[in-house]
């Protein structure tokens, strides 16, 4: 067995490099053609049924507006029903023929099954599942008052997408639909005091990249990585080290002056990419420059993160 591993260590690297050099031109042409076709012939969303979780505010709210402008039927899910109804009213004014409001908690598996069933029973089908619900965390592991508090973060950020996806798959296969999942750049880029939050988002990336292989070609998946985008997180609403969701004035004051992209522009880009069937989108685009840095010079990002940690104030 040891000899086999030594052999593979010697043989696989050069074979892989040669294979990449051989396939790269063909893959580049294939991607270019697909990109052009996507721009020229995007999916017509008029009359499609779209379910959006976390739709009462921020990116989820504006995704509802963008889909509404395209004439899609909407199922909007969130815990705050009053706010959700305001979003539904505006979406109807913007062009959605029918908007269904569902109060639910995505961390509850039974409620996830229920809202999938409610949408399908009401509209008769499901074309896009947009898994957008999530909570932010700005806390080092050792600052947590109780490490088990972080279970809530995984329940919302990870299982809050997996649960509805599981129940939606049969209907999405039937319609050859799409899954759009919001993972944040934190899923692949380290962030100061973001160990638990980034882990929850990284888990989503791995899950949906594997799921893409299981469901293709009947269901396509778009993985969304927003960076500095206006949201409740950017206004300081976070999951605190005490295990509660509240507005942290320290974070709210700290992020002032950061050039956040508008939520509307981000949502517009996400819907456009989903309509084209792209696999990934990072918004704003400039965050993409960090990916090769992460692969080639991880020490630079680690040093930057450590330096920021050293002078950032602790949250409440």
Residues with active-site annotation: 197
Q: What is the DSSP letter of 102?
A: E
- Are the beta carbons of 189 and 276 closer than 8 angstroms? no
* Listed residue (88, 163, 154) closest to 131, CA to CA: 163
d(CA 209, CA 39): 23
What kind and span of H or E run contains 2?
A: helix 2-40
Residues ≥6 apart with Cβ < 8 Å to 90: 65, 68
d(CA 265, CA 252): 22
d(CA 248, CA 143): 15
- Are the beta carbons of 218 and 108 closer than 8 angstroms? no
């Amino acid at each position: 067995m040891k000899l086999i591993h030594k052999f593979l260590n010697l043989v696989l690297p050069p074979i892989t490099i040669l294979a990449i050099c051989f396939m790269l031109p063909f893959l580049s042409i294939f991607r270019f053609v697909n990109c052009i076709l996507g721009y020229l012939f995007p999916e017509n969303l008029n009359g499609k049924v779209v379910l959006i979780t976390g739709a009462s505010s921020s990116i989820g709210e504006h995704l509802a507006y963008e889909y509404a402008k395209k004439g899609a039927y909407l199922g909007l899910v969130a815990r705050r029903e009053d706010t959700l109804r305001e979003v539904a009213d505006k979406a109807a004014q913007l062009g959605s023929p029918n908007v269904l409001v569902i109060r639910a908690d995505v961390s509850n598996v039974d409620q996830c099954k229920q809202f999938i069933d409610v949408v399908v029973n009401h509209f008769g089908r499901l074309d896009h599942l947009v898994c957008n619900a999530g909570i932010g965390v700005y806390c080092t592991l050792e600052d947590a008052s109780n490490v088990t508090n972080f279970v809530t973060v995984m329940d919302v950020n990870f299982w809050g997408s997996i649960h509805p996806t599981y129940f939606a798959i049969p209907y999405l296969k039937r319609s050859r639909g799409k899954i759009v999942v919001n993972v944040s750049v934190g899923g692949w880029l380290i962030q100061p005091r973001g160990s638990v939050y980034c882990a929850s988002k990284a888990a989503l990336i791995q899950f949906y990249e594997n799921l893409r292989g299981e469901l293709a070609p009947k269901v396509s998946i778009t993985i969304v990585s927003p960076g500095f985008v206006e949201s409740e997180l950017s206004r300081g609403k976070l999951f605190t080290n005490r295990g509660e969701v509240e507005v942290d004035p320290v974070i709210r004051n700290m992020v002032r002056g950061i050039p956040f992209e508008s939520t509307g522009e981000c949502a517009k880009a996400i819907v456009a990419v989903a309509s084209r069937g792209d696999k990934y989108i990072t918004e704003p685009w400039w965050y993409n420059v960090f990916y090769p840095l992460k692969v080639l010079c991880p020490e630079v990002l680690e040093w930057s993160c450590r330096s920021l940690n050293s002078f950032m104030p602790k949250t409440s």
